Amino acid sequence: MKSRVHRTAPFVTQLPQKVRITHPFHPLYNKEFGLLSYRRSWRNEYVDLHDENDQLIAVPIKWTDAAPPDPFVVVARGRSYFRTEDLVRLANLIGGLKAHPEGVK
C-alpha cells in the first residue's frame, strides 16, 4: 500500500503575489518575481514565475518564501548546517565515488 503524501503548501489563493527565491545555491537567489501559478507535478510542488527577461520559470515551492518553513530548520534554530538525511546521502555518494575512482560512465 502506498503512503499518502499530505499537502503542505498553502492554497494558491493564499500564496503571495510576489515570491522570493530563498534557496542559497539558486542563481536567482534573493530575487523577487510575480507569481503566475502554483502546480503539483510528480508529487512535487512548483510555482511558475516570470524572470527578468519575461521568460516562464518553474521553481520548487520549497525553494521560495511561499513555502512553510522546514520543521528541521525551525527546530535547529541555526545550530546545524546539514540535515542528517542529506549527510547520509552525501556519504553514500562519496562511498560510491571511492568504489569507482574512474568515475561515472
Per-residue pLDDT of the chain (105 residues; tens, 9 = 90+): 444 445 554 555 666 688 999 988 899 999 999 888 888 888 888 989 988 888 899 999 989 988 887 787 788 777 777 778 888 999 999 988 888 777 655
Look at residue 71 in the predicted model and tell me its pLDDT: 81
Q: How far apart are the first and last CA of the chain?
A: 35
Domain 8-67 architecture: Roll (2.30)
Residue among 15, 69, 22 at smallest CA distance from 47: 15
Query: What global pTM score does this model have?
Result: 0.57
Look at residue 13 in the predicted model and tell me its pLDDT: 60
Q: Which residues pair with 32 in a beta bridge?
A: 20
Produce one character per residue of 42-72: b if its CB has 16 or more CB atoms within 10 Å, e if not: eeebbbebeeeeeeeeebebbbbebbeeeee
Quick check: helix, strand or coil at residue 71?
Answer: helix
Look at residue 101 in the predicted model and tell me its pLDDT: 72
Delimit the CATH 2.30.30 region(s) of the chain.
8-67
Give the other-Cβ count within 10 Å of 15's Cβ. 18
